[in-house]
Structure formats: C-alpha cells, structure tokens
Amino acid sequence: MGKHDGGFPGDLKITWDNLFKKHPHLILVLCGSVSAWISANILNNTGFVGRISRDIVLRELPLRDCIRFWGEKASRMSTRDIVDVLSVTGGVPKYLEEIDPSVSANENIKRLCFRPSGPLVHDFTQIFSDVFGESADSKREILRILGDGAKTSQAIAECMGTERGGHIARNLEELELSGFVARDSGLNPETGGRARQGRYRLADNYTRFFLRFIEPHLPEIEAGRFSFASLDSLPGWESTLGLQFENLVVNHAMELMPFLHLDGIPILYAAPYLKKRSGTGAGVQIDLLVQTRRAIFAVEIKRRREIGEEIEDEVAGKIARIHTRRDVSIRAALVFEGRLAPVIRGNAWFDAIIPIDLLLGRKDSV
C-alpha cells in the first residue's frame, strides 16, 4: 500500500518494518476465512509486495482422505451411506468429525441437520454472517438464486431485479474467493475458443443442502417439531441428492484424471457444460466436460439405485449435439453410484466406467 491508511494492514506494515524484519528466523502466518479481505488487504496490497512467501488456499479434502476420519469402521459402511454423507457435508474436516460411522447416513443427517442442537442447523448462518458482515444478505440472495442451477452474472442480476454491474461482480468475486460458488467458463468445445460468458455454480454442498432442506424448516427444527419417517420421504430428496452427488464429483474432477487415462496430460478445462438451444439447433447439457488439446471427455455422473442400458442412448444423444473440430476426439465416461446393469460393461460403449468407490479409494469394493 502506498501509505499507511490506518487499520490492521497499515499497522502490520509498520510493525513489520520496525520490528519483525529484524528477526531473520521469524515466520508470520496469517489465516482466516474472509478470503476476499485477505486478497484485497494483504495479497494485492502494494505495501506487501515481495513480503509474501506463500499463498495457500485450503480446499475440500480429496475423497479418498475423507473416509479416513472414520477409521476401520469406514470399511463396513456402504458406498451409498458414504456418498450421501459426503454429498451433504463435502470434504470439510469439521463436518466429517461429526459423523458417527456406527449408524446410517440417514441417522447422521437427521442428527446433524434436523435436530434443534444439530451442528449443521445454524452453522451456515453463523459462518456467513461472520465472513461477510453487512453484505451477507445480498450474497445470500445470490446463493438462493444459484440453488436452482448455474447462471450467468446477467441472469443473476435479472433474478435480483437489478443491473449487472460492480455490485454483482464484487459479490460474486467474494463468494468465489470464499469457496461458496465456482465460475465455470471453460472453452467452447466446438471452436476451441474461450466461452463468451462464464456461468456461476453453487459449489459448496452443505450450503446447497442448507438452503434446500434446512432453512425452509428452521422454525420447526428449532422447536423440535420437524419429524419424518425417513429422509427419502422428504419432497425432492432423491433428485436433490442426485444433484449433490453430481456437484461432489465435479468439485473433485481432477481426481478422475487417472481413471480417464489423462494422468500427466495438460487439462485445459474441466467443468459442467451447457449449450443453449438456438434457432433450429438443439441444446445440450453435460455434467462434466473435460477438455485437453486433442480430446474431450463427456462425463455423465449418476447416483441411482439401478442404472440401465438406456443411459448409453442418453449420453450418445448429448454427444451427437456437440460438433467438435475434426482434430479433436470425443469420448464418453460414466461416474456412478448404484447398481450398474451388467450389459453396460459388456457393451463397452463407454470409454471409461468409474464407480465412485475408485475415487473413495475402496478398490476392494469395485
């Protein structure tokens, strides 16, 4: 920063110049969840140029590391139980520590999310208010809008009844820095050029789950009156858990690369892809599109008790609506949780079939 403007950044600079730098073995570590503030006041502040040795952003734990929280009992948990718990919590250590592997995912989610003293009943509200302060309400509105699906900044502004501008852009940037949303721009697979406009996706699975199932019933939950026989009796439960599972895999897309035979190959982009219908041209939506210089993988992500042969036709129809350049190959992959019809492996239509157990490191279960 050009001059001291008061407050913590200025005080830190003065203290460093006058005291800390005199100690050659001193290492100062600054950490916190307010990523946007750290970026603006420390990382991008001219007063600290040349003083920062390392900038570390802590992401969700890799999927294979998540189940290590539950020790030997993890091997006795069903894949569906593990997937459903992770689809709600993501790879956040604090939440993983709260899981009791001795009971089902159903019971864990009930205890954490739908009991008055559940750790995840109020965690979103507390974290969000602490991180964003006075701007929390407008950012929360953006997250609710994205809960219905990924959108461009223009579409978000329209939903909010405002103009797209600095306010929307700043809120989206801060939500992205804090890990609540992800911006999927990528490359246009048909031209190889950069996509004209990125789409913002609600990336944090716990946030999506809170906004979909906890927040609407918060008064009843707090009063201990929110009861139900089983989670799958809640309206939209299975479809929402399918979206949660899809988002979980997308968040860990780079862990897929060895199973797509792309380990060590430069990945240009890996994100969901949407091509809108235009004129007479059909639209297409791909759960995850992995792009390299010479190949494209259309990855279908499915959580379903029974996955039948019809999924081949579904994915084939999607691929037919992507017109790639002649020098680019297009391949199909399936990442799934559920019972796969034997004929699918026998047909060998998919170029890669990846049970979620592989990403979880449970090869003995495959």
Domain contains 303: yes
Domain contains 87: no
Domain contains 68: no
Side by side, the strands of the sheet bearing 295-307 are 269-275, 284-291, 295-307, 329-340, 352-355
Tens-place pLDDT, residues 261-320: 999 999 999 999 988 877 666 788 999 999 999 999 999 999 999 999 999 999 999 999
- CATH number of the domain within which 257 lies: 3.40.1350.10
Residue with tokens 């219908």: 277
Quick one: what percent of the chain has pLDDT higher than 90?
Answer: 62
Tens-place pLDDT, residues 306-351: 999 999 999 999 999 988 888 899 999 999 999 999 999 999 999 9
Tens-place pLDDT, residues 121-171: 999 998 888 778 888 899 999 999 999 899 999 999 999 988 777 789 989
What are the residues whose beta carbons fall under 8 Å from the beta carbon of 334, sequence distance 6 or more? Answer: 299, 300, 302, 311, 315, 344, 350, 352, 353, 354
For the record, the structure tokens of 326 come out as: 């002649």
Tell me how many domains the chain contains.
2
- Measured in degrees and rounded to the nearest 5, phi and psi for residue 317 equal -65, -40
pTM: predicted TM-score of the whole model, two decimal places:
0.86
Domain contains 192: no
Question: Hey, what amino acid is at 234?
Answer: L
Residues 252-288 as b or e (16 or more Cβ within 10 Å = b): bbebbbebbebeeeeeebbbbbebeeeeeeeebebbb
Domain contains 295: yes
131: Cα separation from own chain's centroid = 19
Residues 175-189 as b or e (16 or more Cβ within 10 Å = b): bbbbbbbbbbebbeb
Rounded Cα distance between 359 and 118, Å, is: 29
- Show the domain range for 346: 253-365
Rounded Cα distance between 46 and 1, Å, is: 4
Domain contains 324: yes
Write down the pLDDT at residue 5.
44
Rounded Cα distance between 10 and 3, Å, is: 8
Helix orientation angle between 123-132 and 136-146, rounded to the nearest 10 degrees: 130
Domain contains 13: yes
